[in-house]
Structure formats: structure tokens, C-alpha cells
A and B are shown apart, each in its own frame.
Chain A
Amino acid sequence: MSVLGSLSQLLEIVVALLLAPLLVGWVNQWRAWLQNKSAPGLLQPYRVLHKLFNKESVVAQHASPLFRSAPYIVFSCMLLASAIIPTLSTDLPLAPAADAIALVGLFALARVFMSLAAMDVGTAFGTMGARREMLIGFLAEPALLMVLFSASLIPKSTSLATIVETLAHRDLAIYPSLAFAGVAFTMISLAENARVPVDNPATHLELTMIHEALILEYSGRHLALLEWAASLKLFAYSCLGLALFLPWGVAEAHAPLTLVLALPVLVLKLATGGIVLAFMETANAKMRIFRVPEFLGTAFLLAVIGVLVYILLGV
């Protein structure tokens, strides 16, 4: 564990914590502009977090300790996820502790605790949200694994750092297997981050909500942690996508100076990605919940095709 490695690890965690709400603010701003609305300020998510942390937490009378600890668990999972994904550098001391499969397990752990906490109070919306969240989860999780597999076949490794290093040093070309995987990954990220067309982050229309139904009973600091965790998740997914499909600019162990350059490159990539996300959310409408299996089934098949293409054609 080198000093520089520890430094980049620490930098990555801090950057994730600070940039994640900003990314959400950026996407919200662009979406508002695209929909001809006057946009909230870029820093609005920070103000919301600050306000929520200051408020007292109102908890249902019969809520169990599980309900109160779940926000912390979900937040820790997302923080660990963003620490593992090579966003700025591939020289991360924590990275060997969890590879791509463990990363999927980490997201699953957060999802399970989220759903259990939603079922804990025992309201109609909570259990409905939990069911839908797990439905999306079990459809998206295998698809995400297949995307990661198709990326990991190239360097023959599931270690995220190795994958990113190998992919960054290939010739600039369109690789069919990665193209399939990229499309699949985009679809999965939309579903996993509760975005249109699967869920709508702006809705509070009771019957259509998924993520909002899960956190309906939360308030105060618990809600703040969950909101922060949600933005960390969006950040982590975006960084994962960028690391897999646009890996250029990530610093490596043998070239420490690139770390200085890595942050602006990341911000640039994220800003572009945020605009694309806002466009996608504006151009699409939310689909019925039972169309979601088809949507995610397509993603799953695309990812499997990506793997097959690599195995059969070797590209």
C-alpha cells in the first residue's frame, strides 16, 4: 500500500461525497431547462441535505431498529462502492477487497436493506415499493453482472482496476462486445437509479413511484442520508460506466502525475453524461411497471450477446 495509493483512495472518497449531490443538481437543472421550466440552482441538493440534517427525525411508533439503521447501512454501501470503482485512479488500496462481482453484491446488499426497511413500518406503499424495488433488482442484477463479465473477458480478470487499465490501453475503436454491453449498461443504470422510463425521481404520484415509496416513511437525517446515498449511487454508476466504456484519463500507479489531470477529465465526462441523462429523461415517458421486465430483459439479452460476441469473435 503506497502513500500515493492511500492518497488517491482518500481523494476518491472525498470527491465522491462532494461531487455526487452536484451531479444530481446538474441533471435536475438541465432537465428543467429542457422542459422549459425555470431550474433550481446547481447547489440545491446541498441545501436540501443541510435542511434535512437540521430537522428532527420523525419515526413511526412501531418502527424497529432495522428501520433506523438501514439509512446508515445503505449510505455505507454506496460510499464503499464509490471507493472501489476506479473513478480517478486505478491504484486503490481498497480495490482488491472487492471485484466486479462483489460490487454487484454490494449494490444488492443496499437494495435488500432498503426494501426491508420499507417493509418495516408496514404501510401499503412501503411494501409495494419494496416489492417493486426487488422486482427491478432481480431483473437488473444479472444483466449488470453480464455487462461486467463481457468487460472482464477482455483482460481475463474481474478486478475493476485491471479491467480499466487494460481497456484504457487499447486502440481507439468500436468493439462490438463492448458496444452491446454499453447499451445494456445504460438501460440498467436508468432502472437501478430510479430514472425515467422505469421510475420517475420527480414524482410523488402514489401509484407509480418506486424509489420514493421506499423512502416515504423517512424524514430528517435519515432521509438526508438516503438522498445522499441515492446521489452516490448515481455517481457510482456513472463512474462505473465511464470507467468501463470511456476509460481514458484515469490515473495509474506507475504514472502518479496523471492524478492531477484525472479530476478535471472526470468532471468533464460527468457533465456531458449528465446532459445526456437529462435528454433521455425528457425524451422518454415512464412505462408501466409490467413493461419493465421487457425493458430489462432486453438489457439482459444485449449483455449476453455482448459476452457471446466476444467469445465467438474475440473482439
Chain B
Amino acid sequence: MAGLLDPGRWLPLDWVLAVAASWLLVGVLGLFALRRLGWVAKVLFPAGGAIALGLFAVAGATMFSAPQHAVLPLGLPGLPFHFRLDPLAGFFLMVIGAASAGVSAFAAGYFRKGEGTPPGLLCFEYHLFLASMTLVVVADDAYAFMVMWETMALSSFFLVIANHRIAEIRQAGYLYLLIAHVGAIGILLAFGVLQANTGDYTFANMRAQQLAPFWGSVAFLLALFGFGAKAGIVPLHVWLPEAHPAAPSPVSALMSGVMLKTAIYGLLRVTFDLLHVQLWWWGVLLLALGLATAVFGIVFAAVQVDMKRLLAYSSIENIGLVFAGIGLAVLFSAYGMKPMSALALTAALYHVASHAFFKSLLFVGTGSVLHATGQRSLGKLGGLIRYMPWVAWLTLVGTLASAGLPPLGGFVSEWLLLQSFLFTPGLPSSFLNMLIPVVAALIALVAALSGYTMVKFFGVIFLGQPREEHLVGAHRAGGWERGGMLWLALGCVALGLLPVQFIQLIDNVTRQLVGFGLGRTAAGSGWLLVPVDIERASYGPVVFLVGLAASFALAFLLVRRLYHGRLRRAAPWDCGYPWQTARMQDTAEGFGQPIRQIFEPFFRMQRELPSPFDREPRYRVVVGDHFWHWIYQPVADLVERLSRWIGRLQQGRIAVYLLYSFLTLVGVLLVVRR
């Protein structure tokens, strides 16, 4: 911190702190222009986006350098904030910077007047949210971590309820706040265990402690609970499908694309950095939870009829996949198999990055659709590729990446994950060896189902004929919106085509966490991605894409050259049926029907089927979540009953309250003696 006044000598960590500070500054400037939308949208949000790009660059530059420390005399006297920038933090900062740059650019064109919270306040909350996420990642003591964590939760809560005049949105925000805080308790307690009665809450001290396996496990379980609640691990996922649709689209994009990743960061920090020894059953637990979450999330995503809820469930699925990867890494690490552990961890981190891009892209895409049509329900959309081609084609990139299709980003992480499953035989426990292929089968199922879901998502919104008449007037997205989406789409493509280069970056993280990196093997083979050995497996996305593009071009040219390119436009054929209307297309319910039938035990369904004699037949199906009825509803009922019971104390008469005080005083005097 010596050269604080001379920016030429700033360390990267100083720059990161400067980024957080300038985000705060942008936010505060927004407070001064509370209702001046033009100023907020056209100056402040782009400035925030530029700062995000700066964060991306700074974090990228630090990936190869040694950890740096800083102590800021903020907060309570004698309890300063410690900060530390290491490759793990640097990787997550890159993700935060890159994804939020696109989202901020999009937000510059997104926010409108008269949507609840005034734009200036929204700008403040938004940039506070970004700054707190940045600082969570570089925090190096439990105190700073928790302060930033809570700031993150609170600022995002206020962002979720931006449209607070709608009762459902307030309810969703409340649920989010509740679960965020239940989770925060878990994290706080985990730090309490980790400091091992030394009273020193810096991470440096926690690293120095050697915990007994029992206390290590307690700390791990508490951290898993706390970070799992934030990440949306089953059964703590219930807030996600409520909060994400409620929030404005750029906020949903940030929450889903970036904020969930801070929970992954926290889990990695505690499991691999603060704890030294990993036990094998932690890995199995993480793997089981991750897979359950992934299967649950994607099955629910496939039957949703609200486009943002669909994406929220798909986020649950992706977080589940990341957890499964981390679980595998813990398992390998517990048995001392470092290369395999590094492979699984690389897969998880790669998925973190690609999910940040494609999910942000998809969420902001739904934002454009929402603004153009005013509809969130899939059943009332359709045919938008003709009215908003930019949004449609850019969203298609995100859709393909999300479906895990080559040669985009989502496929690389799934490929790496499957590779790490495939080379598990070799674990010392035969029971685990037997379990692994079943697990790989589940991952394959999840990947295939996400293809189904994404075809439904894209097809119902953008393809076909408009299901409502007013959709014909859907307006195109503005330049800022397109620019933001383009950046995110380019991210998806770059992650898909340049896995070798990105793994060079991730290499530093896995070296730090498990003591091994894939960088060297990956770099040795040029354009091919080779995780272990070229004889074993390789994947060359660039060759793949060039092959596809070349045969596309060749087929196109040859058909034109040898035959012709004549084309005639006519009415759709549809087996010669002339009276077809847009209502005869599959609805979102119809598209989800096979999934509802095959995975029926997953859902809590209420169906209203019309009888053949109904004059006005109505079909209604409500798909509910078992966990809500099994866990949350009983707890809520219990709390309500208890509070009603306690509520009897409230009589509203002052004499009664004086009696309570008197009785309390007597009670205290009886207990407390000198």
C-alpha cells in the first residue's frame, strides 16, 4: 500500500479495490440523479460496464502472479478489513467482470421509467451489488467476508423487489431474504469452527489451524449448508425460481450468472483452501447433492411455462453440475489422485465461466422479449425471430451453449466432466468405482434433457407463428441491448473455441487448490484440447467448427452450381390442411407434456381436465414442488402456530405489559445473585 498515491505503482489488488470504489462512486452519483433516466442509463450504466471490463483485465493479469495482501482500516476499531488476491479470487473476479460488463451494457438500454424503484436508486443498488460481489471474492477475513456477503444479499434483495408494487414480487423477495440469511448463519458458524478457538478470524489464521477430522467435517457441513442455500442446492433451492423471475432481467442475469458463483467460490475457498484435508465422504455428499440438484432442476425446467422460471430452474441444474464436479474433485483429492482431481475441478470451473456467460445472455434476452411484448408466459409468445432478429439469433447462441452442444462453451465443460468420470476406475474403493458410471449416466441424462428444455425455450418464444396478435408489433431491441448481448454471445463462442487458452488460466487455480494443473498437457497439443493424453481423448473445437463450416459452404455452393437456387414462397403445407391457426402449434404445456408423463413422481401436479360434454372446456395444470410441501410448508405452519400462541401475550393494555415487566424483573432477580 506504499505507493497508494502513485497509480503507476499500484498492485493489481489495489486496482481491484479501486474498481469496487469506483462502482460505489457510480452508484452514489446515481443517487444524486434519482429520476433522471437519461443520465443514469446513458452515462452511469455504461461507465459501470467499462469499469467491469477493467476488472476483467486486471483480474486476468493477476492470474499468473503471486498472492497479494492488503489491510484497510475500515470497519470497527481494531478489526480492519483484510483483502487478498490469489488465482482463485482472480478467476472469479474475471467471471464477475466479464459477465457484468455485458449485463451493464444491456442495462443501459433496459431500464425504463415507471417500473417501481426510481432509476437512480436502482443504479445505486446495482453497483453496490457489483462492488460487494467483488469484495466478497477478495475478502481475507471472516468479518470482511460476512459484511460483504450481507451487503450482497441486501442489495440484491432490493434489486429483486424493484417492482415492489406487485405483491408476488414482495413475497419472492421476502423468501429470498429469508433463505439468504438462514444460509449466512451457516457460513458464520463455519468460520467460527474454522478459527478453532483462537479468536482470530483472519483466513490466514484459519489456514494455519489443523482441525481434527470431526471439526473439519462440521465446518465443511456448515459451509455446505450456507453456500448451498445461496447456490440453490436441493432442498434449499425454493427461492431461486421465485426471485429470478421477479427481478428485472439484468438483475436476474447478474444473480443467476454471477451471484450464484460467489457461493461456489465460498465453497471452494473453505473446502480446498481453509481446510487442508478432504475426507472422501465429503466428495460423495457433494456429488450426490449436485446430481440430485441437476436432475431436479432440469426436469422442472422442462415443464415450466414462464420463460424466466424456466431459466431459473436451468440455473439450479447448472449449479448442480458444478457441485458434482467439485464433489468429484474432493473425492479424488481425498485419495491423493491429484491429476484427476485437477481435471474434475477444471471441469467445474469451466462450467462456472460458461454458465456465467450463457445464462446472463439468456436472461437479458428474455428481458428484451419482455419489454417488446410485455409477456413472460411462453404460451403467449412465438414467432419473434421475425420481429426481433438480433435478439433471436444472439439468444440462439446462448441456447445452444446452454444445451451443451459443440462447438460452444457449455459443451467443453460437459466434455471435461464426462472425461473425469470416465477415468475414475482406479479409486481404491470398489463401491465408489461401481457408483461412478451410474453417476456419469445421470450427467448424460441431464445434458440431454437440457437440450430438450432449450429447444422448447427457443422454439416457443422465437419460432413458429405469433400466438397473440399484438406480437406482430414487437419492437427491436436498442443498440445498448444488442451490444451487451453480443459481448455475452462472443464470450460463449470464445469459451467454446479456445478451451486450451482458458485452461491455461484455470491451471493456476487448480495448482493453488489441489497442487496440479492441466495447463502443460493442454498446451502441448496446439489447437486440440487434451486433458490427459492424446491417446486417451482429445477435442478440437476449431477443427470441428471449420469442418462444419467448410461442408456447409461446399454443399451450398455445389447445390447452386450443379442444380439451381430457385425458391418459391407459399402458404405452409401442413399436410394440406388449410384452416390452421397459430393456436394449433404446441404450447409450452404441450411441449412439456412428455416430461410430465415420464417424470410424474417428481411433480406435485394439480390437473383440471375438461369432460367431453363441457360447453367451455378448460384445461389447467399446476406443477408444484414436493419439497415445498414436505419441508417448507410444515416449518411455516409451525412458525405460524407458535407465533399465534405467543401472540396471546399481546393484550394491548398497558397494565398487562407493566405486569410482564414486573414478572421479568422478579425472575431476573431470582436468577442473578451477587
Contact = CB atoms under 8 A, between A and B. Distances in A.
Interface of A: 53-54, 56-62, 64, 66, 72-73, 75-77, 79-80, 83, 94, 96-99, 101-102, 105-106, 108-109, 111-112, 115-116, 119-128, 130-132, 134-135, 137-139, 141-142, 145-146, 149, 152-153, 156-159, 162, 206, 216-217, 219-221, 225, 290, 293, 300, 303-304, 307-308, 311-312
Contacts of A307: 437, 441
B572 A115 contact: no
Given A97-B543, A220-B566, A293-B598, 6 more contacts: A76-B552, A99-B538, A99-B539, A126-B585, A142-B447, A216-B574
Contact of A312 (B405, B419, B434, B559): B434
A122 B570 CA distance: 14
Contact of A158 (B403, B405, B537, B544): B537
Given A76-B552, A130-B459, A122 B433 contact: no
B451 A311 contact: no
B291 interface: no
A105 B538 contact: no
Interface stretch (B370-378, B379-387, B515-523, B624-632): B379-387
A56 B566 CA distance: 5
A interface: dominant SS:
helix
Contacts of B536: 156-159, 162
B547 A64 contact: no
A206 B452 CA distance: 23
A221 B563 contact: yes
Given A123-B574, A145-B444, A225-B559, A59 B569 contact: yes
Interface string B564-603: 1011111111110100101011100011011001100000
Given A80-B548, A217-B572, A153 B586 contact: no
16 contacts: A58-B567, A62-B386, A64-B386, A98-B540, A108-B451, A112-B454, A119-B459, A119-B586, A123-B573, A131-B586, A134-B452, A145-B440, A149-B437, A221-B564, A290-B597, A307-B437
Contacts of B285: none
Contacts of B528: 96-97
B61 interface: no
Contacts of A311: 425, 433-434, 437
Given A122-B585, A123-B574, A308-B437, A102 B448 contact: no
A97 B539 contact: yes
Contacts of A146: 437, 440-441, 444
A64 B566 contact: no
Given A108-B405, A221-B563, A308 B434 contact: yes
Contact of B568 (A59, A130, A134, A139): A59
A156 B536 CA distance: 6
B411 A105 contact: yes
A74 to B, nearest CB: 10
B556 interface: yes
Contact of A115 (B383, B459, B580): B459
Contacts of B454: 112
A128 B586 contact: yes
B458 A116 contact: yes
Contact of B585 (A127, A149, A221, A312): A127
Contacts of B564: 54, 56, 221
Contact of A125 (B465, B570, B575): B575
A137 B383 CA distance: 24
Interface string B482-516: 00000000000000000000000000000000000
B464 interface: yes
B102 interface: no
Given A60-B571, A124-B580, A134-B452, A142 B444 contact: yes
Interface centre among B459, B567, B584, B590, by most chain A C-beta atoms within 10 angstroms, is: B459
A261 B425 CA distance: 37
Contacts of B422: 149, 152-153, 158
A216 B573 contact: yes
B438 interface: yes
Contact of A102 (B415, B455, B562, B566): B415
A139 B452 CA distance: 10
Given A112-B455, A138-B452, A311-B433, A97 B544 contact: yes
B350 to A, nearest CB: 15
A217 B570 CA distance: 11
Given A102-B539, A130-B455, A311-B437, A112 B448 contact: no
Contacts of B597: 290
Contact of B447 (A60, A121, A141): A141
B463 A119 contact: yes
Nearest to B540: A97
Contacts of A158: 419, 422, 536-537
Contacts of A64: 385-386, 389, 463
B535 interface: yes
B400 interface: yes
Nearest to B544: A97
A255 to B, nearest CB: 18
A204 to B, nearest CB: 8
Contact of B570 (A59, A130, A303): A59
B449 A119 contact: no
A58 B441 contact: no
B400 to A, nearest CB: 7
B555 interface: yes
B437 A94 contact: no
A271 B314 CA distance: 45
Contacts of A130: 455, 459, 586
A108 B433 contact: no
A73 B556 CA distance: 10
B534 interface: yes
Given A80-B551, A112-B405, A61 B535 contact: no
Interface string B421-432: 011010000100
B538 A96 contact: yes
A64 B391 CA distance: 14
B459 A116 contact: yes
A220 B566 CA distance: 9
Contacts of A300: 441
B406 interface: yes
A73 to B, nearest CB: 7
Residue of A130, A138, A159 with most chain B CB atoms under a 10 A cut-off? A138
A66 B567 contact: no
A102 B543 CA distance: 12
A122 B582 contact: yes
B663 interface: no
B27 interface: no
B343 to A, nearest CB: 13
B96 interface: no
Contact of A142 (B383, B406, B445, B574): B445
A8 B575 CA distance: 44
A108 B463 contact: no
Interface string B390-409: 00000010001001111000
Nearest to A138: B448
A153 B593 CA distance: 36
Contacts of B585: 119, 122-124, 126-127
B406 to A, nearest CB: 4
B227 to A, nearest CB: 29
B13 interface: no
B251 interface: no
A159 B538 contact: yes
B570 A124 contact: no
B568 A80 contact: no
Nearest to B385: A64
B145 to A, nearest CB: 38
B605 to A, nearest CB: 17
A70 B618 CA distance: 37
Contacts of B99: none
Nearest to A79: B551
B555 A72 contact: yes
